[in-house]
Chains A and B, each alone.
Chain A
Amino acid sequence: MVDPQDEDAGWMLKVASDVPGAFEVLVSRTLPRLLGFFRRLGADAASAEDLAQDVYLKLYRGRASYEPRARFSTYLLRVARNHWIDVYRHKRLGPGTVSTELRRGGGEEEGQSLGAGLEGPSVDPARGATQPELRRALEQGLGELEAVSREVFVLAHVHGLPYDEIALVLEIPVGTVKSRVHAATRQLRDILRRRGIEP
């Protein structure tokens, strides 16, 4: 049964029924989230778009058998994460670090290196970092996390998934998810602290 609040699931059901234009709407609605997921896992902009296209190809191929058993975003991230594993881990093409290009927009100068804002403890720990500083530091810090910690951190904090949905995405027990999220959050806080960043 589709959750009436889950509009994306509704669009996916329309795609499954081959409603004209529904697939375009679904892609438009979910592409930013999917690109963000792959970018935070470490893909560069061009690879993220290719990976997203592959994910939509899988969704569209399997549209007839789609059943909204979970939130659509959870389903989408599960397909995306499995594809990421296929492409980047099994083929050993995995990037070592997250791209250090700043995200476009947000009032920040395009193409500026993240490192430029992170040379030394420029932030006064007593006052805490501003949100843009924290965001830049997080983006950089994610690249230093182990792949396993990075993916749980991204799912829990960047995508805001609860433990049980992360367990669905990663296909591991909820208890394991909890301990990984705890550990990943601690590791990232430590990384930020070493850079002089306190949230």
Chain B
Amino acid sequence: VSAAEADLLLDLALGALPSEQVKALEARLAGDARLAAEQAALGRLRSAALALRDEAPEAGAAQRIALRVRDQVAHEEHRARRAAPERGGLFGLTVRSRVRLLLASVAVHVLVLGWLVFRTPSGSGSPSERPVDVAIVTPPERLPPEASEVFDPLDLGPIIGAEQVPDDVLVDVGWVEAPAPAPFRVVEHPEPVQLEMLARSRADVRTRRLARAGATAAEATAVVARGLDALARLQRPDGSFSADLTLPPERRTQLGTLGVTALATLPFLAEGRRSTPGLGETVDPVVRRAIEWLRAEGARDPGQAGQGPVAPDDLALLVVALSEDYMLSYGRLPPAETAQRGREIARQVERLTRLQQPNGTFRAPGSTQAGSVLWPLLALDAARHTGLAVAHDEAGARLQAWIARQPRTAEGLPANAAGRADPALAAAEVLASRLPLGAARQEAAAQAILGGATDGEANVGTLAGALALYRADTPSFARWNRAASEALLRRVVSQGLVARGDAVVDSALTLLALQAAYRLY
């Protein structure tokens, strides 16, 4: 057929001809086999082309994209609101100034009301508002440098003069200074009574632990404090944190908002900041909002709209954050609330264990080998430390068995593809082992971890390495601290966040590595 005829048939196929021209062309087609064959060929071509229209996305891609986009836009809108105060209205004040004025007024009222309520030591109010009912205090000089003995809070009855601690009595221990007059009963006890989870949050105990471990506490503590302030400013109004989606794809984190929020909350928890009220301490609003968001997000039905499958890394970080918060909150919440939080952790651990691969790892698309081993390992370990009856043992044993099956170096350490000791897996092995590895292998593992942890990059491997060194061998930790902490400190700029990388994810990892001595997984 001629080019003009072919174009005409194409116009017909694309519905671009007027009706009278369509009729004329159809009449021609009925009597012209050559033209009809060309029309059929064009039809087959278009049919084959239409079959190329859709490209099947990877499983979960739509949910992943929607989540990232919504996160990014929410982050932008939040920043825009903060950057552009609205003017006008009352006395020409900006909206922000009016809000500050209002908050200041509310604060004054709260202070006055608080003074009126608490000037009498009777301590009225609902159980959740009470800090504690009984405080067991120990003279400061008797407080040991670390909590070497874990005291089961259910066995405190004899100390406070009761056969057992009633369910609705909140007990706190280890405090050296109680306000006078205290709105609760104070029981003095000559010997230190400590719950590990409480001792962990004591700044003075932490400082002594750091000093014992040879850490340069002063500088690290100052940097951590600045970092936490800066991280707090990046929290979104709903309590979550977002990764930096403007980074190039190869430098973006694979974690979802759930994992990023849990990770960003950990340095606050490691510092002993609480989501729940404690004696003489206030609730940290950043931690409270973050934990509320994490608990709500963790409770969402995975099948509902907008909720895609949760990656093992995200779930593992959620377990670590909830477990840390649980330990810091223990004894500060009514028993029913404590039990509820325990059930939530058990459910998340169960969800995590369902994602375990037959080979024992938690590998998911896009995750690194270190991430697929170390985060779940830390999660199972954190869950174990809560003392809750959670399904961690079998999963932990499978993961440990996978580590044990890895190729070995001459020193018996897990080897990477190049045959050299893999620092991340060496750290994993130390963390997974409940028993010492033996002096020679322990030292070899420490060397491997040190080799992998001194480049100033903070990732899950660095963090696990620091924890493993701290747990395994104090001199090794001191060496790590000297070698790596300076490099880590250099990564943090004056505002408290990392100079390069993801402001939330990389800063949180760096702060956690600096805080390693605070954490006793």
Contact = CB atoms under 8 A, between A and B. Distances in A.
A186 B66 contact: no
Interface stretch (A17-25, A86-94, A114-122): A17-25
Contacts of A135: 48, 51-52
B249 interface: yes
B218 to A, nearest CB: 44
A45 B55 CA distance: 9
Interface in B47-105: 47-58, 61-63, 65-66, 68-70, 72-73, 76
A128 interface: yes
B66 A27 contact: yes
Nearest to A164: B16
Nearest to B68: A53
A134 B61 CA distance: 29
A194 interface: no
B41 A198 contact: yes
A105 B59 CA distance: 14
A34 to B, nearest CB: 8
Given A24-B305, A135-B52, A57 B73 contact: yes
Interface of A: 20-21, 23-25, 27-28, 31-33, 35-36, 39-40, 45-46, 48-50, 52-53, 56-57, 60-61, 103-105, 128, 131, 134-135, 138-139, 153, 156-160, 162-163, 178, 181-182, 185-186, 188-189, 198-199
B136 to A, nearest CB: 48
A189 to B, nearest CB: 7
Contacts of B72: 57
A23 B6 contact: no
Given A21-B304, A135-B48, 19 more contacts: A20-B305, A25-B305, A27-B69, A28-B66, A31-B57, A31-B62, A49-B58, A56-B65, A57-B73, A135-B51, A138-B45, A138-B49, A158-B49, A162-B15, A178-B11, A185-B10, A186-B3, A188-B45, A199-B48
Nearest to A104: B56
B222 interface: no
Nearest to B57: A31
Given A21-B306, A157-B46, A131 B66 contact: no
Nearest to A139: B52
Given A21-B305, A25-B305, A199-B42, A103 B55 contact: yes
B66 A23 contact: yes
B47 A131 contact: yes
Contacts of B55: 32, 35-36, 39, 45, 48, 103
A31 to B, nearest CB: 5
A19 B29 CA distance: 51
A189 B47 contact: no
B44 interface: yes
B69 A23 contact: yes
Nearest to B306: A24
A21 B304 CA distance: 9
Contacts of B394: none
Contacts of A36: 52-55
Main secondary structure of the interface of A (DSSP, over half): helix
Looking at chain B, what size class is its interface with the partner chain? 35 or more
Given A28-B62, A31-B61, A159 B53 contact: yes
Contacts of A60: 69-70, 73
Contacts of B70: 23, 60
B16 A178 contact: yes
Nearest to A174: B16
A24 B62 contact: yes
A32 B56 contact: yes
B69 A131 contact: no
Given A24-B62, A56-B69, A138-B48, A50 B54 contact: no
A3 to B, nearest CB: 17
A185 B62 CA distance: 33
A60 B71 CA distance: 11
Contacts of A61: 73, 76
Given A162-B14, A163-B16, A128 B69 contact: no
Contacts of B149: none
A45 B63 CA distance: 17
10 contacts: A24-B63, A25-B305, A27-B66, A28-B66, A31-B61, A32-B55, A35-B55, A135-B48, A160-B53, A199-B44
B497 to A, nearest CB: 24
B7 interface: yes
A76 to B, nearest CB: 13
A33 B14 CA distance: 20
B57 A35 contact: yes
B309 to A, nearest CB: 13
Contacts of A138: 45, 48-49, 52
Contact of B7 (A28, A45, A182): A182
Contacts of B45: 134, 138, 157, 185, 188-189, 199
B15 to A, nearest CB: 6
A184 B14 CA distance: 14
A32 B57 contact: yes
Given A24-B66, A160-B50, A134 B44 contact: yes
3 closest A-B pairs by beta carbon, nearest first, are A21-B305, A157-B49, A32-B54
A189 B305 CA distance: 45
A47 to B, nearest CB: 9
Of the candidates A139, A156, A185, the one having the most CB atoms from chain B within 10 angstroms of its own CB is A185
A33 B69 contact: no
B56 to A, nearest CB: 6
Nearest to A29: B62
Interface string B285-310: 00000000000000000001110000
Contacts of B69: 23, 27, 53, 56-57, 60
Contact of A162 (B16, B53, B56, B61): B16
Nearest to A59: B69
A141 to B, nearest CB: 10
Contact of A20 (B52, B76, B306): B306
